[in-house]
């Protein structure tokens, strides 16, 4: 394959290149039979036509990419038509020198057998897949063209050169035979080695292109992974409190509405717990905001420990206000034991709050509502009722629970 781009070619560029029948310089993408200077006979017209035949052969090989019958037929038809034209032109040139010589008759016979053989290879109903038919034709054409040009046409060209120099035809044929006998094997070896070197170079280019494509695909895959991770982080930041890592008020509103609908649909109990840290402003004023933030993070960790079930959620609503949501099969499923455990665990954290009027350490007041939703219940009515229960807990002296 003749690819001139460097190893930094992108995957998109590479795929675009594959989609093109030709690219820079007019060279076909698939050059299975690269032209070699050893094919030159010395006759400019014949050499030009031979190059065109080789070009059309590579074009036919290129249809292996698409494997479309219409493209194969078009490439084959063009090759066959040009081969017929070339044979006529070549025969006219050789006949001027060889007249009725047996060499010319044998050459004409080889020309005559060419197209029927190729037609036979592409005959429908052969039982072969289309790509197998193409490969068979290409392999035959490579062998036929190489030996026909190197052995037959170069010999004819040598004879013509001798005759034009004044040597009689029979003597010219003998001289041509001697020259071909001495050099044809070496010529074939040089030609094959030259073609092998050219194909090896193209193979290395292909490998470099393939590596570039793999690297480009890997970069694209990593970019996609990074984008997904960034999207996840963005989604998480939209619903998460930056300080505590709990869900935020925005997510609370969305989850509350969804859980209320689920509880109403399933006839299950919905538990809503509102919590307020007692005299938290005094803690901030006494110990500073850094200590206050640390206290909020510690309390959030304790609340998280009580939300290990799939349907349990912990939120920081703002400031020192927190909330829990849970859905259970019965009103007694998430009751006073849970609330008391939360109150006790917060107090057990022993976070100093010396100026609190309730206790020398940080405590929490809780308003808890457990209910199987009724038709009249809404997010707003339930929240207001839980908030009223929290207010009662504060009015009764804080560091306590009021349930509804």
Sheet holding 313-318, edge to edge: 313-318, 321-328, 269-277, 364-371, 401-403
pLDDT at 17: 40
The verdict on domain 249-403 having CATH code 3.30.70.270 is yes
Q: What confidence score (pLDDT) does residue 100 get?
A: 87
Query: Is the Cβ–Cβ distance between 176 and 159 less than 8 Å?
Result: yes
pLDDT band at 281 (very low <50, low <70, confident <90, very high): very high
Model confidence pLDDT, tens digit, residues 294-321:
999 999 999 999 988 888 999 999 999 9
Q: How confident is the model at residue 89 (pLDDT cuts 50, 70, 90)?
A: very high
Residue, of 293 and 229, whose pLDDT is higher: 293
Q: What is the mean pLDDT of residues 246-271?
A: 92
Written as six digits, the tokens of 191 are 């030609």
Which residues lie across from 326 on neighbouring strands?
271
Whether residue 3 has pLDDT greater than 50:
no
**199 pLDDT tier (thresholds 50, 70, 90):** low
Find the helix packing angle between 336-348 and 289-305, rounded to 10°: 140
Tens-place pLDDT, residues 135-191: 788 888 888 888 788 778 888 988 998 999 999 999 998 988 888 775 665 666 566
For residue 321, what pLDDT is reported?
97
Confirm or reject CATH 1.20.120.50 for domain 11-222, answering yes or no.
Answer: yes
Beta pairing class for 269-277 and 313-318: unpaired
Asked whether 259 and 271 are in contact (CB, 8 A), the reply is: no
pLDDT tens digits for 97-147?
A: 998 899 989 989 989 888 888 888 777 656 677 777 777 888 888 888 887
- The pTM of the full predicted model, rounded to 2 decimals, is 0.47
Tokens coding 240: 């998460």
* Contact (CB, 8 A) for 404 and 386: yes
Q: Where are the domains of the chain?
A: 11-222, 249-403
Q: Which residues are catalytic?
A: 320
Tell me the two tokens of residue 182: 């001495």
Of the candidates 270, 277, 272, 328, the one whose C-alpha atom is nearest the C-alpha of residue 300 is 277
> 398 versus 11: which is more confidently predicted?
398
Backbone angles phi, psi at 364, to 5 degrees: -140, 145
Pair 78, 56: CB distance under 8 Å: yes
Do 206 and 3 touch, CB atoms closer than 8 A?
Answer: yes
* pLDDT in the model for residue 25: 38
CB 93 within 8 A of CB 107: no
Query: Tokens representing 254?
Result: 């969305």
- Residue 121 has a pLDDT of 78
What's residue 297's pLDDT?
Answer: 97
């Amino acid at each position: 394959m003749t690819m001139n781009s460097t190893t930094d070619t992108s995957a998109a560029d590479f795929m675009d290149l594959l989609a093109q029948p030709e690219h820079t310089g007019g060279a076909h993408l698939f050059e299975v039979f690269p032209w070699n200077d050893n094919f030159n006979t010395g006759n400019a017209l014949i050499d030009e036509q031979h190059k065109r035949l080789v070009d059309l052969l590579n074009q036919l090989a290129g249809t292996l990419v698409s494997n479309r019958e219409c493209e194969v037929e078009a490439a084959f038809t063009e090759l066959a038509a040009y081969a017929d034209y070339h044979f006529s032109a070549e025969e006219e040139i050789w006949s001027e020198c060889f007249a009725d010589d047996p060499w010319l008759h044998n050459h004409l016979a080889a020309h005559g057998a060419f197209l029927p053989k190729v037609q036979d290879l592409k005959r429908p109903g052969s039982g072969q897949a289309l790509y197998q038919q193409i490969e068979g034709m290409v392999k035959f054409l490579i062998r036929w063209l190489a030996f026909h040009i190197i052995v037959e046409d170069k010999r004819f060209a040598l004879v013509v050169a001798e005759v034009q120099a004044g040597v009689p035809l029979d003597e010219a044929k003998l001289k041509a035979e001697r020259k071909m006998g001495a050099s044809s094997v070496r010529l074939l070896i040089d030609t094959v080695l030259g073609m092998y070197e050219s194909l090896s170079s193209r193979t290395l280019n292909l490998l470099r292109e393939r590596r570039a494509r793999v690297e480009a695909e890997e970069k694209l895959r990593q970019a996609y992974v990074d984008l997904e991770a960034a999207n996840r982080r963005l989604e998480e930041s939209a619903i998460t409190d930056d300080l505590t890592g709990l869900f935020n008020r925005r997510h609370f509103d969305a989850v509350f509405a969804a859980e209320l609908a689920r509880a109403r649909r399933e006839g299950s109990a919905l538990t809503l717990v509102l919590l307020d840290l007692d005299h938290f402003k005094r803690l901030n004023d006494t110990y500073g905001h850094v200590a206050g933030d640390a206290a909020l993070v510690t309390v959030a960790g304790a609340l998280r420990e009580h939300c290990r079930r799939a349907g349990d959620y912990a939120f920081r609503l703002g400031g020192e206000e927190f909330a829990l949501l849970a859905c259970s099969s019965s009103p007694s499923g998430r009751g006073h034991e849970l609330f008391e455990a939360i109150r006790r665990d917060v107090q057990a954290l022993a976070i100093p709050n010396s100026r609190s009027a309730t206790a020398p350490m940080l405590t929490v007041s809780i308003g808890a509502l457990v209910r199987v939703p009724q038709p009249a219940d809404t997010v707003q009515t339930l929240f207001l009722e839980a908030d009223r229960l929290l207010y009662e807990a504060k009015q009764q002296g804080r560091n306590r629970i009021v349930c509804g």
